[in-house]
Amino acid sequence: MQNRYNFVFDDLTNTYNFATKNDVLYRVAFINDETFSTISGEEIPNVFQLIVEKSNDGIEPYDSKVSKTIEDIIERFFNKIENSLIFVCSDENEKAEKRHEIFNRWYKKSKYREIIIKIDNVISVKTEDNTTQKIYTSFMFHKHNSNFQKLLEIYSQFEKMLNDEK
């Protein structure tokens, strides 16, 4: 028996979809991310933001096949070596830090960690009401990505600039 679900690309929603044994529909989207291009002033292609969402709000019992399926999608994404991925943890219900930890644990257990590098940035941002919001981000790229030095340089600027009080 497979340890993951089969997924299909839905042309209507432009997302990769799979349904679980508990009848929960998951959608996985990749959107073009122009953050690196905007910040560097150069065209940096093949950078995408990964977004995973359930189509309904209910709580689903733990299902190990869900993470295995998402892992499979990510692994296939990196079949193209020049692709890179940015993941931002949602702060819904103030759980961004917890989501970041879960994503990190998942990566550490993943078999693709030997070829896919993950770098984390926790960025502190002052909000309009003068409180500080932490944004948990992860950036992933193939270890043979020919552009990796440039990508890392840009990504490191996120944290360096935004966390610098001066």
Partner 1 sequence: MKKEVNKEQILKSVTKMLADKELVRSYMKGKTSKQSLTSKGIKFAKPL
Which residues of the shown chain bind partner 1 in the complex (CB under 8 A)? Answer: 9, 13-16, 27, 29-33, 35, 38-42, 46, 48-49, 51, 53-57, 73, 76-77, 79-80, 83, 86, 88, 90, 123, 125, 135, 137, 150, 153-154, 157-158, 161-162, 164
Query: Looking at beta carbons only, is 108 or 130 nearer to partner 1?
Result: 130
Query: Looking at beta carbons only, is 108 or 116 nearer to partner 1?
Result: 116
Q: How far is the CB of 30 from partner 1 (least distance, A)?
A: 5
> CA 143, CA 132: separation in Å to the nearest integer?
34
CA angle 158, 100, 75 (to 5 degrees): 90
Both tokens of 109, joined, read: 């257990």
* 47, 31 Cβ separation under 8 angstroms: no
Q: Which residue reads 């500080």 in tokens?
A: 132
Q: How far is the CB of 83 from partner 1 (least distance, A)?
A: 6
Query: Looking at beta carbons only, is 12 or 108 nearer to partner 1?
Result: 12
Q: How far is the CB of 22 from partner 1 (least distance, A)?
A: 17
> CA 128, CA 152: separation in Å to the nearest integer?
29
Task: Give the closest residue to 123 by CA, choosing from 91, 85, 83, 84.
Answer: 91
* 119, 139 Cβ separation under 8 angstroms: yes
Measured in whole angstroms, the distance separating CA 134 from the mean position of its chain's CA atoms is 16
Both tokens of 12, joined, read: 């209507």
Q: How far is the CB of 38 from partner 1 (least distance, A)?
A: 5
Q: How far is the CB of 157 from partner 1 (least distance, A)?
A: 5
Query: Looking at beta carbons only, is 115 or 162 nearer to partner 1?
Result: 162
Query: Looking at beta carbons only, is 41 or 61 nearer to partner 1?
Result: 41
